[in-house]
A and B are shown apart, each in its own frame.
Chain A
Amino acid sequence: MTLTLYHCPDWGSQVIRLALEELGLDYRIRPMDWDAGDFDAPGFRAANPQGLIPVLETPEGPVFETAAILLWLNARHGGLGPGIDEPEAAAFLSWLFFVANTVHPGVMALIHPERPAGPGAAEETGRFALERLMVQADHLEALIRTRAPLWLTPQQPGLGHYLGILIRWAVYLPEDPGQRFSLDPFPALKAMLAAHEATPAARRLAVTDGLGAHPYTAPEAA
């Protein structure tokens, strides 16, 4: 099966590259260059009309949206989360959608605070986004402490790497240091992410894609 990932290091496609690497799948990278206009190219828009990465080209056509690709890969190859027939699928899907539609847009608002309500409201947008992310991290911390789900361990690393990349961005990308997220109040979440950044696949990609020694727990600008 030929898989091609449209990719920029440290963009959303990083989550999918980590998943592909964890599964040991053969895949090709199609590098994407924002400044060269790759995101507006008609061929790319045919694959994802939103003009966003990640996109994974598969023998059955393109798949887009980070979490959609994770679920597609998990159904075809297993290993990223519970199988569809397992009882844990119920909780896994609930939290995967929560991360995709709530945590992920919240982190985007934190690192691009001029977008949701214009540049004039950037300060308030950033502050609100950080407050909400702290609440969401509390929910995740409680989940790990009380349930310790297998689908938030390196044995099923799809969602853990997704959260790792989101938290990485929230820690080091806000321009205002006062708007940066910290993992310190969330030790269980931090330990979960430390385990994920230490997998052999994650270590390989941290070098290849220039993510630093501790991409989730101590990110730094490349």
Chain B
Amino acid sequence: MTLTLHHAPDFASTIVRFALEELELPHTLAIVDIDGGALASPEFRQVNPVGLIPALETDDGPMFETAAILLWLVDRTGRLGPGPTDPDRGAFLSWLFFTSNALHQAALAMFYPHRPAGEANTDAARAAAQEQIVARLGLMEAMLAAQAPRWLSPDHPGVLGYYIGVLVRWLILLPPAPYGIRLDDFPHLKAVLAAHEARPAALRIAASDGLGPTPFTNPGT
């Protein structure tokens, strides 16, 4: 399997990098010069017509969308998440899409609050996003407390742990006061993320991408 990840440190492609490292899959990094406009270049649009990273070039052609790549890696390796015939597959898929459609999208509205309705309405967009983010992390916390699933666990690495870990990192670091989250409000989730960031593969990526020693639970140190 030949893989090339189009990547910029601490962008969403970092999520895929954690997964590739955990899977010990050899791959090439193609560093994307975002400030230099590389996402709009015709060459990159051949890889991802939508013009976003991550994009992963594979033997089966180019892929994009963080969660699509994560799921494809699970299915090709049989690791880091339940396979197609696993009884846990349905719940895993539900929460993977919940993370991608609901949590990640609300986080983007927080980080880019001009997108929903322009510069004049950034405060209202941030306030709406804040409410959604806290509610959605609360649903995840309740699910972890009630079900303790293997696919989002302190005891087993998984793609969803790395995905949520990077989103939580940004939600702690990036929103201006009074917005943002306190991970202590979500103790089961914090335990899952603490276990993921302490794994040898995660420590290597945190060092390589300059994310600090505790990128998910205490970013910015």
Contact = CB atoms under 8 A, between A and B. Distances in A.
Nearest to B101: A101
A84 B84 contact: yes
A64 B68 contact: no
Contact of B93 (A48, A63, A89, A124): A63
Contacts of B127: 118
A218 interface: no
Contact of A121 (B63, B64, B69, B117): B117
Interface residues of A, number: 47
Given A61-B90, A100-B100, A118-B124, A93 B65 contact: yes
B156 interface: no
A90 B58 contact: yes
Contacts of B94: 48, 62-65, 68
- What is the size category of the interface that chain B forms with chain A? 35 or more
A65 B71 CA distance: 15
A115 B90 CA distance: 29
Interface centre among A67, A69, A101 (most CB of B within 10 A): A101
B93 to A, nearest CB: 4
A72 interface: yes
Interface stretch (B36-44, B102-110, B184-192, B194-202): B102-110
A76 B85 CA distance: 7
Majority SS at the chain A contact face: helix
A139 interface: yes
A196 interface: no
B100 to A, nearest CB: 5
A35 interface: no
B72 interface: yes
A50 B116 contact: no
B97 A60 contact: no
A104 interface: yes
Contacts of A64: 94, 98
A58 interface: yes
A134 to B, nearest CB: 14
Given A96-B68, A139-B49, A117 B84 contact: no
A63 B67 contact: no
B72 A97 contact: no
A64 to B, nearest CB: 5
B104 A49 contact: no
A88 B142 CA distance: 36
